[in-house]
A and B are shown apart, each in its own frame.
Chain A
Amino acid sequence: MEEKKLAIIATKGTLDWAYPPFILGSTAAALGYQVEIFFTFYGLQLLKKNLDLKVSPLGNPGMPMPAGMDKWFPNLGLALPGMEAMMTSMMKKKMAAKGVASLEELRELCQEAEVRFIACNMTVELFDMDPSEFVDGIELAGAARFFEFAGDADICMYM
């Protein structure tokens, strides 16, 4: 049986959106897929050794809020200082309580399973990011390199 291939483009750098690429990447690898994730724009945050990701209730009406906060909290109130930090801390506590893996763990499991991480060279330069802040084993490359793998992938996802 020839190995199936999964190509993922990760473009977002918030705590909530950091999960899908690492969950699907690690699971596909466990199922025998060959996986590559191309990190671009804000998705590059997911490669930093020191992950400091946040989740924001702003502009996110689908986010379930504790204790009916979404009912009595005016939207403007969500922009108050400290709101993002509070939501991030609550989300992390909830995830730990429900046995959801930490991002660091999922990312490590991806790398152990030989999921390849590619950082978009253009965005690294655009944002003046320092690749030494990234975890080891990252390849810096461009769009054409992504298509080299994605071109004959069985599944391609943009997130």
Chain B
Amino acid sequence: MADFDEELDASGLNCPLPILRAKKALAGMESGKVLHIIATDPGSVKDFEAFSKQTGNELIESKEEGGKFHFLIKKA
């Protein structure tokens, strides 16, 4: 997994909490910084794709590892 600046563990949280928490975390970050999100909600895979498309924050990486979903999002 590539480098990141901040991490958000949204494990155990269900829709729409991972997105809402990520939005909050990104709001406190500078443009160009990368947020690593860990989630267990399988719906979050499509949700983070959609979040990225609609907000312009780039989804750099999305993968499943060890039963968890990992996302890297770069703040626009």
Contacts and interface: CB of A to CB of B under 8 A. Distances in A.
A joins B in a complex: yes
B58 interface: no
Contacts of B19: 27, 30
Interface residues of B, number: 14
B55 A31 contact: yes
B49 to A, nearest CB: 12
B60 interface: no
B20 A32 contact: no
B8 to A, nearest CB: 13
Nearest to A22: B16
B14 A100 contact: yes
Contact of B17 (A31, A32, A101, A113): A101
Contact of A99 (B13, B20, B51): B13
A111 to B, nearest CB: 12
B55 A27 contact: no
Contacts of A30: 16, 19-20, 23, 51, 55
A109 interface: yes
Contacts of B40: 99
B16 A99 contact: no
A100 B20 CA distance: 13
A26 B20 contact: yes
Contacts of A98: 14
